Structure 1
Amino acid sequence: MSDEYTKELIKQFIERCRAHSLKITPQRLAIYRELLKLQVHPSADAVYKNMVRDFPTISFDTVNRTLLTFAEIGVVETVESHSGVRRFETDLEPHHHLHCIKCGEIIDFCDSDLDAVEVPKRIEDEFTVIGKRVVIRGICRKCAEKDEDGEKTQPSKGKSQKAMPFAEV
């Protein structure tokens, strides 16, 4: 992620916080910067573990509540992993996810065909749609190769990657 893009995201973050009367504290700014730096879909626990080095008095509860507040005001989105752990991401552009059921990795991808899928009218009549995202669950290449080599991989809390441009899925 370029420095200019990071600066723009931080500027937008500050504007959104102010629009919601949320003070820009050093901890909030540091938590948001950590999310940008990680460039994955980290859990609150992963963010906390990285934060505690620079903010030794910060608590897990503070990090978790702050991330949930960020989601409420729309500066991050929550992503549920296959293991049920809530993860967070700063990429608010429309995209889809590949979830590996073995290692827990979440990979972003874009696909215009999936973007074009219309929500059925019967759903729109009963439900106000504010967004749509396709989640494809399966086994990533690394885990499949490990299984071929005779190694057994266990489901885990996992990690995630940023966008992979897939032409086809």
Structure 2
Amino acid sequence: MSYLVEQSIERLKYNNIRITPQRHAILEYLIDMDTHPTADEIYKALEKDFPKMSVATVYNNLRLFTQMNLVKEMNFGDHSSRFDFASNEHYHAICTQCGKIEDIYYPGLDDLEEVTSSLTGYDVQSHRLEIFGLCPDCQVNNRQ
């Protein structure tokens, strides 16, 4: 079990949340996958191991993880939320053709909220940055 899984489970236990096998599997899947899956994709990936688990179980656990700030829900306008394990602040590059999402870590933006607050007087609560373009695979496919 990875350190992030252990740390997340300890946080759930600290908040008196029961660690079910399904909850553990959903969390582990999110940590292991960097594809920013939808709830349906998570369900399909885990249904073989948990045939009695429902899609509602996945949604309910994702809602819980989001409320606890373990997971971020991302909406990109395609009417399906994607979920990202929130281990540290990062941004996203999104392919406009295939929908692939890549994480971008850029320490130069670490103080963005503080700078914005200082410049505008806003009480900044959160931010997100998304960059849209064609991924390398789609660029190659478009040339063919």
Q: Report the TM-score, using the length of structure 1 for normalisation.
A: 0.74
Q: What is the match of residue 72 of structure 1?
A: 67
Q: Which has the higher contact order (CA 8 A, sep 6+)?
A: 1
Equivalences for residues 98-113 of structure 1 within 5 A? 98-113=93-108
Moved more, 60-69 or 71-80: 71-80
Q: What is the match of residue 57 of structure 1?
A: 52
Q: What is the match of residue 85 of structure 1?
A: 80
The SS at the match of 1:28 is helix
Equivalences for residues 11-160 of structure 1 within 5 A? 11-117=6-112, 118-121=115-118, 124-125=121-122, 127-129=123-125, 131-149=126-144
Aligned 8 A contact 1:114 1:134 in 2: no
Aligned 8 A contact 1:99 1:137 in 2: yes
1:75 to partner: Cα distance: 1.6
Distance in 1 (alpha carbons) for counterparts of 2:32 and 2:89: 20
Distance in 1 (alpha carbons) for counterparts of 2:105 and 2:77: 20
The SS at the match of 1:119 is helix
The SS at the match of 1:12 is helix
Unaligned runs of 5+ in 2: none
Aligned 8 A contact 1:36 1:90 in 2: yes
Percent sequence identity over aligned pairs: 31
Misfit runs of 4+, over 6 Å: none
Distance in 1 (alpha carbons) for counterparts of 2:129 and 2:86: 15
Distance in 2 (alpha carbons) for counterparts of 1:42 and 1:52: 15
Q: Report the TM-score, using the length of structure 2 for normalisation.
A: 0.86
